[in-house]
Structure 1
Amino acid sequence: MTKVIRGKIFVLDDNIDTDQIIPAEYLTLVPSKPDEYEKLGSYALAGLPDRYGKFIPPGEIKTTYPIIVAGENFGCGSSREHAPIALGASGVKAVIAESYARIFFRNCAATGELYPWESQERLCDKFETGHEVSIDFETNQLINHTLNQIYNLKPLGEIGPVIDAGGIFAYARQTGMISSR
């Protein structure tokens, strides 16, 4: 069975840092507590400049955009795991960027919150927020249904099964690397 994520995209450009993804004032929220996890998600991308528009609709706690398309160096800044957790808690399933800050990419694997796809070309200049897209995991393709265009993505590689499992510890238990007791 082919795995596909489909929905509207939210478009960002270069150097979206962890302060923009989840401002420091919300880092007191504890993601392991379900109500605080939900609240953390409601603040995802709250640090963005106004020119991007609202990621979370007013009065809501979830986004209507399960996919983010961004430019270079997504997730730069601090090493906070709260960044991919906040995006995942908000309803984001995947980010497609030209490149990632290494620690953000690693935190995606550690937390299992979202898939960090890398584009093979600059997509943030070709797409607009609200376009309907799908990501096909089998073909490593992003299909823009609004523009009727297909773009190749770099394969997820070894990180895919780790995120499928729900993060590095769940993957280690699942594969017998650590005891599941």
Structure 2
Amino acid sequence: MTGRIFRFGDDIDTDQLAPGQYMKGGLEALAAHCLEGVRPDFAAAVRPGDVLVAGRNFGMGSSREQAAEALRHLGLAGVVALSFAGIFYRNAINLGLPVLVAADLSGVEDGDLAELDLDGGQLRLTSRGSVVALEPLPDNLRRLLADGGLVPHLKKRFLQEREKA
């Protein structure tokens, strides 16, 4: 699926992704205010298949899993960054949101058209005719993402084990 790039800088924290004042309003309200402090139009503009591209230390701050959940709810194909905060990275994977590391994002601009290829470990910039190499995800994490996150993955696995018994 081709989507647009939404480009952000370094140190995007979980409070920007999931603003605390909207936590009681549920996921729908929280997602509607995702990143409004740094880009007020983001939540209204993002469409399924779009890719968020950021600099270093994406998802720093608190351990709130709602930060990754809000991005997934908005339909992003995934997040590509130079680096991630560890807790955010694992929360994203567990919730079924692809997060991939790139060594260089200098050729990626806001609004570029792109396709995220998890299996090939690439961000294809279709509007530029170029490719950004991404650190490949291990097979077990790709399977977990394909199943929709940790809970659906475990349910599938336990069901398969029961059927074999």
Question: TM-score, with normalisation over the residues of structure 2?
Answer: 0.86
Aligned partner of 1:15 in structure 2 is 11
1:170 corresponds to which of 140, 149, 152: 152
For residues 1-181 of structure 1, the aligned pairs below 5 Å read 5-30=1-26, 37-48=27-38, 52=39, 54-57=41-44, 63-64=46-47, 66-112=50-96, 114-121=97-104, 123=105, 125-157=106-138, 158-176=140-158
Distance in 2 between the 1:154 and 1:12 partners? Answer: 19
| Whole-angstrom distance in 1 between the partners of 2:24 and 2:40 | 25
Cα separation, 1, equivalents of 2:160 and 2:59 = 29
Provide the rounded CA distance (Å) in 2 between the counterparts of 1:174 and 1:45.
33
3-state DSSP of counterpart to 1:88: helix
Shift of 1:53: 5.9
Would you identify which runs of 4 or more consecutive aligned residues in structure 1 move more than 6 Å? 177-180
Taking a change above 3 Å as real, the CA distance of residues 154 and 54 of structure 1, as seen in their structure-2 partners, is same
One-letter amino acid of the counterpart of residue 8, structure 1 = R
Q: Give the whole-Å Cα distance in 1 for the aligned partners of 2:84 and 2:75.
A: 20
- How many aligned positions are there? 160
CA RMSD of aligned residues (A): 2.2
Q: How far apart, in 1, do the equivalents of 2:34 and 2:40 lie?
A: 13
CA deviation string 1:51-110 (max 9, x = no partner): x462133xxxx6237210111110000000110111111221200011110000111122
Cα distance in 2 for residues equivalent to 1:118 and 1:7: 18
For residues 139 and 18 of structure 1, do their structure 2 counterparts lie closer, same or farther at Cα, with a shift above 3 Å needed? same
**Distance change (3 Å), C-alpha of 1:179 and 1:111:** farther
Unaligned runs of 5+ in 2: none
Structure 1, unpaired ranges of 5+? 31-36
Conserved in 2, the CA contact under 8 Å of 1:94 and 1:115? yes
Q: Percent of aligned positions with the same letter in both sequences?
A: 32
Cα deviation code 1:139-170 (max 9, x no counterpart): 21111122221111111213221122122121
- Per residue, is there more helix in 1 or in 2? 2
Provide closer, same or farther for how the CA distance between residues 43 and 172 of structure 1 changes in structure 2, counting only shifts above 3 A. Answer: same
Hey, what's the Cα distance between the residues in 2 that align with 1:135 and 1:93?
7
